[in-house]
Amino acid sequence: MKIGIDQMAFATTDKYIDLRELARVRGDEPDKYTIGIGQDQQAVVPPTQDIVTLGAAAADKLLTPDIRERISTVIVATESGIDNSKASAIYVKHLLGLSDFVRTVELKEACYSATAGLQFARGLVALNPQELVLVIAADIARYGLATPGEVTQGAGAVAMLVSQNPHILALEPTTVSLTKDIMDFWRPLYATEARVDGKYSTNVYIDFFKQTLARYQQLTGRRLADFAAVLFHLPFTKMGKKALEAVLQERQDEVAQRLRAALTASQVYSRRVGNLYTGSLYLGLMSYLQNGSAQAGDRLALFSYGSGAEGEFYTGILQPGFATHLSAVPTDLAQRHQVTIAEYEQDFQQQLGMNPADVSFDVTKDPAKFVLAGQKDHQRIYQCR
């Protein structure tokens, strides 16, 4: 039985900044941001958006009356949780109006957990082929104003339906996971911004990619030539290039050129949104499918990486008609408007974060269907409009 990703949809905020402008304000060379890091724009998060509203917005695009009825499990993968106890999946389930007879859970392991969610969903469908599992990867990448990580911030969500006989990607059985206790990036309970050893994290990422790829090749006998594309977690687009070049090295043959072209196609959306943490790999997949030369029957390789650290290398086979089962990301990006660096900084400071006080946000400026209206008696107040 084929099991995998049946449908995918993306959502982000309605605002962005231009990173050349951010570079000028921070006193950096704009080329460092656009070429050295590989980012052009970055999603700006108003206080009325969080991972619940973004996740609901992405998932909402997938819901027909039939799908709404059939969803059996909702998995929200995030490292930007809004509660240390209650799962964000419950809030999302409520906003989407799903049946009460549904299983809901939140998963965490930095930028890796959506991949765990997909593999768990695959297991659920294997046990009960009638299951339709909604996996949502939603995050707000936040490092702090004027920090080295600032240029790699971003926000958004990717929602995926996992089922038997999927329309997009049938997951193959061999996957390689690698876990080591490493302090390259983490966020203590008392912090709203991540702590990161940036250079170290990029080295660990490359090392995990090389190790998981080598083991996958050992287990399957497959070579790079067997992949139409290798898709990467993209904390910033240059990271994918660093990892791919670490294995291609000086190669200029047809396979190397194909993988480089596929990487470029997978980077198009990340360049304009920034890091989605656990959703980044899957936005990269959508970007490749909408901007690359993907064909049904192709074998795609995916490398998932979460600091702390965990990596997974796995593959899937692209299914006929895949293109009609993805939401139109260019439409989302075209509907955004650019804001100044001052406006971005104001939004950054206004996030609810760890503030325990009652607060009420002005939701009239946010066109999103799902908004965070504020907090009362330590409870977040969401609206579906």
Helix intervals (H) in 163-301: 198-220, 237-248, 254-267, 270-273, 280-291
> Is residue 272 a contact point for ligand CAA (CB under 6 A)?
no
Binder of ligand CAA out of 37, 157, 262, 265 (CB under 6 A) = 37
Catalytic hit among 150, 167, 233, 312: 233
Torsion sign across C-alpha atoms 303, 276, 153, 182: negative
Closest CB to ligand CAA among residues 31, 69: 31
384 is catalytic: no
The footprint of ligand CAA on this chain (CB under 6 A) covers a number of residues equal to 26
- Number of other residues whose CB lies within 10 A of the CB of residue 178: 16
For the chain, the distance separating the N- and C-terminal CA atoms, rounded to the nearest angstrom, is 40
Residue 205 binds to ligand CAA (criterion: CB under 6 A): yes
| Distance from C-alpha of 80 to C-alpha of 99, rounded to nearest angstrom | 25
Report if residue 115 touches ligand CAA, rule: CB under 6 A. no
Sequence-ordered list of residues with C-beta below 8 angstroms from that of 332, at least 6 positions apart, any chain: 10, 11, 12
Tokens of 24: 């000028």
Q: Is 276 in the site for ligand CAA (CB under 6 A)?
A: no
Instruction: Clarify whether 131 is annotated catalytic.
Output: no
- Does the protein bind ligand CAA through residue 47 (CB under 6 A)? no
Q: Which stretch binds ligand CAA (CB under 6 A): 9-17, 25-33, 123-131, 319-327?
A: 25-33
Residues 224 to 243 in contact with ligand CAA, rule: CB under 6 A: 233, 235-236, 239
What is the rounded distance in angstroms from the CA atom of residue 11 to the CA atom of residue 55?
7
Residues 288-317 that bind ligand CAA (CB under 6 A): 305, 307
Closer CB to ligand CAA, 26 or 336, in the complex: 26
199 binds ligand CAA (CB under 6 A): yes
Which tokens hold the place of 6?
């049946």
Question: Contact region for ligand CAA (CB under 6 A) — 65-73, 89-97, 191-199, 370-378?
Answer: 191-199
Task: Rank residues 120 and 305 by Cβ distance to ligand CAA and give the closer one.
Answer: 305
Q: Is residue 180 a contact residue for ligand CAA (CB under 6 A)?
A: no
Pairing of strands 103-107, 41-44: unpaired
Beta-bridge partners for 139:
156
Residue type, 205: Y
For residue 278, which of 108, 148, 120 has the smallest C-alpha distance? 108
Residues that bind ligand CAA (CB under 6 A): 29, 31-32, 35-37, 111, 148-149, 151-152, 185, 196, 198-199, 201-202, 205, 233, 235-236, 239, 275, 277, 305, 307
